[in-house]
Amino acid sequence: MKRDAPRQTRLRLDTPVTYLKGVGPARAEALKRLGILTAGDLLYHIPHRYEDASTIASIASLEPGMQGTVVGRVISKGVLPTRKGLRIFQAVLKDDTGMIEVSWPGQPFLDRTIAKDDVLLVTGSVRFFHGRQLQPREFVNLGDEDNALAEGLVLSVYPATEGLSFKVIRGIIDAHLDELLSLVTEYLPADVLRTATLPSIADALRMVHRPTSLGEAMEGRARLAFEELLFVQLLQQRAKALAREVRRGIRFENRRQLTTRLREALPFTLTGAQSRVLREIFADMCSDRRMQRLLQGDVGSGKTIVALFSALLAMENGFQAAIMAPTELLAEQHARSMTRLLEPLGIAPILVTGGLKAKERREVAARLADPEPALVVGTHALVQEATSFARLGLAVVDEQHRFGVEQRKALGAKGEAPDVLLMTATPIPRSLALTLYGDLDLSILDERPPGRLPVTTALRPESARDRVLQFIDRELEKGRQAYVVYPVIEESEKSDLKAATTMYEILAEGAFQSRRVALLHGRIPGEERDAIMRRFRDGEIDVLVATTVIEVGIDVANATVMLVEHPERFGLSQLHQLRGRVGRGAEASYCILLGDVSPETKQRLDVFVGSDDGFVIAREDLRLRGMGDLFGERQSGVATFRVADPIRDELLNESARDAADRLLAADPELESPANAPIRRVLGERYARSLELFRVG
Q: Which residues bind ligand ADP (CB under 6 A)?
A: 268, 270-271, 274, 297, 299-305, 425, 449, 555
Q: Report what 128 binds from Mg ion, ligand ADP, none; CB cut-off 5-8 Å by kind.
A: none
Q: How far is the CB of 297 from ligand ADP (least distance, A)?
A: 5
281 by Cβ neighbours in 10 Å (0-12 / 13-18 / 19+) ranks as: buried
CB 28 within 8 A of CB 34: no
**Under 8 Å CB-to-CB from 62, ≥6 apart: which residues?**
68, 70, 100, 126, 132, 134
Nearer to Mg ion, 249 or 300 (CB): 300
Calpha distance 500→519 (Å, rounded): 7
Q: Which amino acid is at 500?
A: A
Instruction: Classify the C-alpha dihedral 628-634-639-642 as positive or negative.
Output: positive
Nearer to ligand ADP, 145 or 555 (CB): 555
Nearest residue to 72 (alpha-carbon basis) of 134, 121, 123, 124: 121
Q: How far is the CB of 282 from Mg ion (least distance, A)?
A: 20
Q: How far is the CB of 275 from ligand ADP (least distance, A)?
A: 9
The residue sitting closest to Mg ion, measured at its beta carbon, is 553
Q: Report what 643 binds from Mg ion, ligand ADP, none; CB cut-off 5-8 Å by kind.
A: none
Q: Report what 657 binds from Mg ion, ligand ADP, none; CB cut-off 5-8 Å by kind.
A: none
Nearer to ligand ADP, 133 or 304 (CB): 304
Calpha distance 597→245 (Å, rounded): 54
Q: Report what 274 binds from ligand ADP, Mg ion, none; CB cut-off 5-8 Å by kind.
A: ligand ADP
Alpha carbon distance, N-terminus to C-terminus of the chain: 37
For helices 676-685 and 214-246, what crossing angle results, to 10°? 90
Q: How far is the CB of 227 from ligand ADP (least distance, A)?
A: 37
x/- site string to Mg ion, residues 546 to 565, per CB under 5 A? Answer: -------x------------
Q: DSSP assignment, residue 247?
A: -
Nearer to ligand ADP, 311 or 643 (CB): 311
Q: How far is the CB of 557 from ligand ADP (least distance, A)?
A: 8
Q: Report what 468 binds from Mg ion, ligand ADP, none; CB cut-off 5-8 Å by kind.
A: none
Nearer to ligand ADP, 302 or 412 (CB): 302
Nearer to Mg ion, 277 or 488 (CB): 277
Bridge partners (DSSP) of residue 103 are 90
Nearer to Mg ion, 237 or 548 (CB): 548
Bridge partners (DSSP) of residue 324 are 378, 397
Q: Report what 299 binds from Mg ion, ligand ADP, none; CB cut-off 5-8 Å by kind.
A: ligand ADP
Checking 126-133 for CB contacts under 8 A at 24+ apart, the result is 126/62, 126/63, 126/64, 126/65, 126/66, 126/67, 126/68, 126/100, 127/64, 127/65, 128/64, 131/101, 132/62, 132/63, 132/64, 132/100, 132/101, 133/100, 133/101, 133/102, 133/103
Q: Report what 577 binds from ligand ADP, Mg ion, none; CB cut-off 5-8 Å by kind.
A: none
Is there binding between residue 220 and Mg ion (CB under 5 A)?
no
Nearest residue to 293 (alpha-carbon basis) of 449, 444, 448: 444
x/- site string to Mg ion, residues 419 to 438, per CB under 5 A? Answer: --------------------
Q: Report what 301 binds from Mg ion, ligand ADP, none; CB cut-off 5-8 Å by kind.
A: ligand ADP
Calpha distance 110→138 (Å, rounded): 13
Measured in whole angstroms, how far is the alpha carbon of residue 137 from the centre of its chain? Answer: 21
Max Cα–Cα distance, the chain, nearest Å: 85
Q: How far is the CB of 332 from ligand ADP (least distance, A)?
A: 13
Q: How far is the CB of 425 from ligand ADP (least distance, A)?
A: 6
Q: How far is the CB of 91 from Mg ion (least distance, A)?
A: 52
Q: Report what 435 binds from Mg ion, ligand ADP, none; CB cut-off 5-8 Å by kind.
A: none
Nearer to ligand ADP, 69 or 304 (CB): 304
Q: How far is the CB of 398 from Mg ion (least distance, A)?
A: 6
Q: How far is the CB of 337 from ligand ADP (least distance, A)?
A: 7
Please tell me whether residue 522 adopts helix, strand or coil conformation.
coil
Calpha distance 186→203 (Å, rounded): 10
Q: Where are the alpha helices (DSSP H) in 538-584?
A: 572-579
Q: Report what 549 binds from ligand ADP, Mg ion, none; CB cut-off 5-8 Å by kind.
A: none
Nearer to Mg ion, 173 or 308 (CB): 308
**Under 8 Å CB-to-CB from 158, ≥6 apart: which residues?**
45, 46, 47, 48, 166, 169, 170, 173
Nearer to Mg ion, 233 or 443 (CB): 443
Q: How far is the CB of 655 from Mg ion (least distance, A)?
A: 35
Nearer to ligand ADP, 45 or 401 (CB): 401
Q: How far is the CB of 325 from ligand ADP (least distance, A)?
A: 10
**Under 8 Å CB-to-CB from 667, ≥6 apart: which residues?**
674, 675
Nearer to Mg ion, 270 or 664 (CB): 270
Calpha distance 285→642 (Å, rounded): 37
Binding region for Mg ion (CB under 5 A):
553
